[in-house]
Amino acid sequence: MADRLQRLYAAAARAGLLKDCTWRPADGRPAEVHPVGFGAPDTLRLDGLTASTDYEMTYPQALFEGLAPREVVEIAGAAYQVREVRALGDGSERRATLTRL
């Protein structure tokens, strides 16, 4: 399943549906840049039945190993602090809720 998810994200990135995210780990490891799904406030959810008021990003679990609350990521030129990271579905995908800095 994880391999299929990574192929799906790669196809979405090629189609221009994802945003590049840069993470500079606080522990000094080299920066990582990967395409992520990105949702901003007022993004429609549940087929237009509700609107989100949170920033969030989704990505395959194999990316951003060690990303945790209080870390900072940069998406589309803006900095965001990670509030929470949760596993989705079978655990092969993650969702991080973000606060814009």
Residue with tokens 């007022």: 42
**90 pLDDT higher than 70:** yes
pTM above 0.85, yes or no: no
**Of residues 27, 31, 92, 25, the one with CA closest to residue 58:** 92
pLDDT in tens, 2-47: 688 888 898 999 999 999 999 999 999 999 999 999 988 766 655 6
Domain definitions of the chain by residue range: 2-100
- Domain 2-100's class? mainly beta
Rounded percentage of the chain residues whose pLDDT exceeds 70: 86
In angstroms, the CA 29 to CA 93 distance is 22
**51 pLDDT higher than 60:** no
